[in-house]
């Protein structure tokens, strides 16, 4: 039996060696190919030494003193210049602020402030936040932080933010002045995590229409959104308007989670792929909070990235109607790599594609400057104002939605219904007046003087009962210089301008009383895009567009 086994071994051993040899050769060739694009460590060291040698020579021989950190930063920027506009280097000084926005919070005291007449005025206090627990109120003036005087000429918002932020559970002492009584109050505030809301507003526009505005897609966005949607559902929302205007994007998973609430049956939401990354698909997985009701998405030229993922998925599946103007056109996915010195590289690693197969990335062949100034080009060509209704899509390849509607890629998401930019309301003179420091101060002074009397049950009660805009306009006009007063009178003689100006004043008072929900409840009354959305939802146009 042993002899027989040895005989079989002699027969199979050469074959086994051959198989191992061939497998080893295949593995070796594959390994070589996989490493072909990776730099040899010697090359890396050599190139790094070359950069160090240049910087050393500059330090030793250059005619003036130089900042080494700036040299390195400029060197990195030069390397990235030939790549896409969204691959960026973030310095250690800027990284924390960038991360705070995306993570949805930071460690601070929990107030919003505005600088008026060189004085820091507390215009909002986060409910149950650190400052609220210490007794800080809207209208308080910030005089000192620790022993540092922060009232007076030259104070900046950046400086105040830096000194109010700090490690969680650390404490800071502040000296406040009550606006009405002038009494000084000292408070010791223990810093804590302060949320940065990404859902600006969630309100009912009528008995069946819910409205949600999202300003970015952060780590907390989906929870904020789902909480808002549940409350609107409980109030009777049968149709929803989701406002993604001016939303620059953010986390991919926040966008896909929101889409999951609108789409059913494991529908594809988006997929990503790149030369060095495999195709990854994101599909609806959970039972959504709003899979059946009517849905409208609002977008504009500043809706980018994750906003476009949501708009693309909703449009491709004919789940809702997209209204507004062509979106930004960012179809690239970045990953962030943090460096030992605290800086970071945000590197593009893949492109994303809508369910129909569209990549909506705009061309950046003409350089970063031209890419970032596309807004001006759209305005000049008349696309934004409706004078030229042909969107300048670089890619005219046809794609098809689930109901066989034609859509295009290569330049953003083109809405189903176009609403032009309203140049009359945002003309330079009127815009300057609405956002002038003089008007901001007049509104604030009125609010502080009348704070005790401004008692309303809710936003509806406020909207029906508040009529003090003319008094505020009068206060505003009295502080203007003669030339400014002439221009203001000329602008306000136009009835449309006058009514819009009054509405903005009312909306700002509503924000002090009811936060952002109050502001949007008032300001949306004169929003052409929202008005168009309401018209579409209440007519047969909605079904016609979606082929229902």
Tell me the H-state helices in 382-481.
428-434, 437-450, 459-465, 469-478
Residue 401 · residue 435 · CB < 8 Å = no
Which residues have a catalytic role annotated?
305, 316, 330
In whole angstroms, give the CA distance from residue 429 to residue 30: 66
- Please, is 251 exposed, middle or buried when counting C-beta atoms within 10 Å of its C-beta (0-12, 13-18, 19+)? buried
Which residue, 539, 543, 533, 535, is CA-closest to 324?
533
Return residue ranges of the chain for CATH 3.90.226.10. 199-421
pLDDT digits (tens, 9 = 90+) for 373-397: 888 888 888 888 887 655 555 567 8
What's residue 445's pLDDT? 96
Residue 294 to residues 105, 204, 263, 306, 414, Cα–Cα distance (Å): 33, 14, 12, 21, 20
pLDDT digits (tens, 9 = 90+) for 466-507: 999 999 999 999 999 999 999 999 999 999 999 999 999 999
In whole angstroms, give the CA distance from residue 49 to residue 63: 23
Q: Is the pLDDT of residue 36 over 50?
A: no
In whole angstroms, give the CA distance from residue 114 to residue 441: 10
DSSP string for 173-203: EEEEE-TTT--EEEEEEE-EEEE--SEEEEE
Hey, which CATH number is domain 199-421, 3.90.226.10, 3.30.1490.270, 3.30.1370.110, 3.40.50.300? 3.90.226.10
What's residue 30's pLDDT? 44
What's residue 189's pLDDT? 96
What's residue 390's pLDDT? 56
pLDDT digits (tens, 9 = 90+) for 284-308: 998 999 999 999 999 999 999 999 9
Which residue, 411, 308, 287, 291, is CA-closest to 355?
308
pLDDT digits (tens, 9 = 90+) for 119-154: 999 999 998 899 999 999 999 999 999 888 888 777
Return residue ranges of the chain for CATH 2.30.42.10. 105-195
What is the rounded radius of gyration, in angstroms, for the C-alpha atoms of the chain? 29
Query: 212: part of which helix (H) or strand (E)?
Result: strand 209-214
Q: What is the mean pLDDT of the chain?
A: 88
In whole angstroms, give the CA distance from residue 347 to residue 335: 5
Q: Does domain 105-195 have CATH number 2.30.42.10?
A: yes
Distance of CA 236 to the CA centre of its chain: 28
Residue 233 contacts by C-beta under 8 Å, 6 or more apart in sequence?
A: 210, 289, 290
């Amino acid at each position: 039996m042993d002899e027989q086994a040895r005989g079989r071994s002699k027969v199979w051993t050469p074959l086994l060696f051959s198989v191992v040899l061939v497998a080893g050769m295949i593995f070796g060739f594959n390994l070589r190919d996989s490493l072909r694009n990776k730099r040899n460590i010697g090359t890396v060291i050599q190139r790094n030494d070359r950069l160090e040698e240049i910087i050393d020579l500059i330090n030793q021989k250059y005619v003036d003193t130089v900042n080494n950190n700036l040299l390195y930063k400029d060197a990195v920027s030069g390397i990235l210049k030939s790549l896409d506009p969204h691959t960026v280097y973030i310095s250690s000084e800027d990284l924390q602020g960038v991360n705070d926005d995306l993570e949805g919070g930071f460690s601070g005291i929990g107030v919003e402030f505005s600088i008026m007449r060189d004085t820091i005025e507390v215009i909002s206090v986060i409910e149950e936040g650190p400052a609220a627990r210490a007794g800080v109120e809207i209208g308080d003036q910030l005089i000192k932080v620790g022993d540092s005087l922060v009232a007076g000429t030259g104070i900046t918002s950046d400086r105040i933010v830096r000194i109010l932020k700090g490690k969680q559970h650390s404490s800071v002492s502040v000296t406040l002045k009550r606006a009405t009584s002038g009494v000084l109050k000292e408070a010791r505030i223990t810093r804590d995590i302060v949320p940065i809301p990404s859902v600006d507003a969630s309100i009912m526009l009528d008995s069946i229409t819910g409205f949600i505005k999202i300003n970015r897609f952060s780590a907390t966005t989906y929870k904020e959104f789902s909480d808002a949607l549940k409350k609107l559902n409980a109030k009777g929302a049968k149709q929803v308007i989701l406002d993604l205007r001016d939303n620059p994007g953010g986390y991919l998973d926040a966008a896909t989670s929101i889409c999951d609430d609108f789409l059913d049956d494991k529908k594809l939401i988006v997929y990503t792929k790149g030369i060095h990354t495999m195709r990854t698909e994101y599909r609806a997985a959970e039972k959504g909070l709003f899979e059946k009701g009517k849905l409208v998405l609002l977008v504009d030229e500043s809706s980018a990235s994750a906003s476009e993922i949501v708009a693309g998925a909703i449009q491709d599946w004919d789940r809702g109607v997209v209204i507004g103007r062509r979106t930004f056109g960012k179809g690239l996915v970045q990953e962030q790599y943090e460096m030992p010195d605290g800086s970071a590289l945000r590197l593009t690693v893949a492109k994303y594609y809508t369910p129909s197969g569209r990549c909506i990335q705009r061309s950046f062949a003409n350089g970063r400057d031209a890419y970032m100034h596309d807004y001006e080009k759209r305005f000049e060509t008349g696309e934004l104002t409706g004078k030229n209704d042909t969107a300048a899509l670089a890619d005219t390849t046809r794609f098809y939605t689930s109901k066989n509607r034609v859509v295009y890629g290569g330049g953003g998401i083109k809405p189903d219904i176009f609403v032009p930019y309203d140049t009359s309301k945002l003309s330079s003179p009127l815009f300057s007046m609405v956002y002038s420091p003089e008007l901001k101060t007049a509104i604030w002074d009125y609010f502080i003087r009348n704070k005790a009397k401004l008692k309303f049950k809710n936003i509806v009660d406020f909207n029906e009962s508040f009529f003090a805009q003319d008094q505020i306009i009068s206060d505003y006009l009295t502080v203007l210089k003669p030339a400014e007063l002439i221009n203001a009178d000329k602008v306000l003689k136009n009835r449309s301008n006058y009514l819009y100006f009054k509405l903005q004043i009312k909306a700002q008072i509503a924000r002090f009383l009811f936060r952002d929900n109050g502001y949007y409840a008032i300001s949306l009354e004169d929003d052409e895009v929202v008005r168009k959305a309401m018209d579409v939802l209440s007519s047969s146009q909605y079904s016609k567009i979606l082929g229902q």
